[in-house]
Amino acid sequence: MKKRGVRWKIERVVLFSLILFLFVPVFISLSAEKVQAAFIISHECLEIHCFPEGKMFWKINISNSETETIRINEIKIKDLEGTVVADYDIKTEIPFGENKVIVIEATVPQATNYTKFFYRPCFTFYKMQENKITVLDERCYDIMNITVMPKPLIRCWKDSDCPESMFCSENLCFKLECSACQFIKEHKCIDYQCCSNSDCETDEFCNEHNCLKIDCKNDEFIKEHACEKLKCEFNEKPVNHECVKNKIIQGAIIASELIVIFLLIFLTVTKVKFNKKTILQMIREKKKIAFHKKIAEKHLKEAKMHRELIRYLKNKEDIELHEKEAKMHEAEAKKHIKELEKILKLKTCPECGKIVESSSRKCPYCGEQLRGR
């Protein structure tokens, strides 16, 4: 256990010594009479490296860990010969337990030797006595340094210092690596508007890296960024880059179709037979049947009317007249019935008066022999 305790103490001493070694260059104590404080000083240049006569900022972080307020009258950054290269002359107070960051804008000084500039930070303190300011002596601290790149090593400050095909980075000129669809302008890679037709709209094509509108003829249309011939049907014509129906040809086609339909109907009606009769014959027979049937019914109706009148007449002349009219209508009706029988291939049984088929040998109603009659 004792060995482990001794080892732990040694490790603490080594760790504390390492921390002191690392922070000694930047963490320095300053004092104003008996007031103790610490400051960390750093710098920042606008360029990647610090170059003489360039712009830079000194950054000083002051911490007050004592019980009294630190009052600083002025802060100066001096070279080894005592020349002031940066100055902050605004009175500053830092109360106990607080810290303050002071930034000084300045010009990058020349290197003291080849790449280093050595300097000393100097502080002037003041105190208040009976509401009066008393300035104390200036105190300068340990020598410090920053890296300053000498001018002979600088290749460029900005892109315009390099050739057109190069750009400036870390004060060196580098060649631009542009893609196949880019060009160099003002030290930058700029994209072309197009390198192929696919980079343009559907109605455009790529010509010398520019998208241009496609102008097709009336009988052409745009396909895959190019003009292609329209393939219209025989009854179509090209209008405004598309196929539309040709009204004249369309009308002729409709007329031809109607003629063909009419011919088909005519041939069907006059040539095609059903039960040994054409449609036209059947239509004509139907009309004849309707005609003869109508006339026969009309004459029979008239004959019936005359027969009814005879029943009520007493005058012999009137009776004979109506008898004559009745027989005349019955005879006319019989003519039309004969025509109907002929068309329908029927006949009337002379015995019972029933209508039977003309091919029948015997009347199915009364049994009378019909053949040969």
Residue 34, domain CATH: 2.60.40.1470
Angstrom distances, CA of residue 12 to CA of 1, 266, 360: 17, 124, 144
101 plus 183 within the same structural domain: no
For 120-143, give one letter per residue: b (16+ CB within 10 A) or e.
ebbbbbbbeeeeeeeeeeeeeeee
pLDDT in tens, 200-226: 988 889 999 999 998 888 888 878 788
40 is a domain residue? yes
Choosing from 167, 191, 215, the residue where a domain stops is 191
91 is a domain residue? yes
Query: Which range, of 127-136, 268-277, 314-323, averages the lowest pLDDT?
Result: 268-277
Mean pLDDT value of segment 333-340: 81
pLDDT in tens, 73-110: 899 999 999 999 999 999 899 888 899 999 999 999 98
98 plus 164 within the same structural domain: no
161 plus 140 within the same structural domain: no
329 is a domain residue? yes
356 is a domain residue? no
11 plus 117 within the same structural domain: yes
What span, in angstroms and rounded, lies between the C-alpha atoms of 54 and 107?
Answer: 6
292 is a domain residue? yes
**Rg, the chain, Cα only:** 65
Angstrom distances, CA of residue 282 to CA of 227, 237, 312, 337: 62, 47, 46, 19
23 plus 148 within the same structural domain: yes
Q: What is the mean pLDDT of the chain?
A: 79
9 plus 146 within the same structural domain: yes
Choosing from 174, 191, 208, the residue where a domain stops is 191
pTM equals: 0.38
135 plus 100 within the same structural domain: yes
Predicted confidence at residue 12, as pLDDT, reads: 46
Domain count, the chain: 4
217 plus 284 within the same structural domain: no
Domain membership of residue 287 as a residue range = 277-348
30 plus 144 within the same structural domain: yes
365 is a domain residue? no
9 plus 102 within the same structural domain: yes
363 is a domain residue? no
Predicted confidence at residue 23, as pLDDT, reads: 36
338 is a domain residue? yes
118 plus 222 within the same structural domain: no
202 plus 305 within the same structural domain: no
Mean pLDDT value of segment 259-284: 72
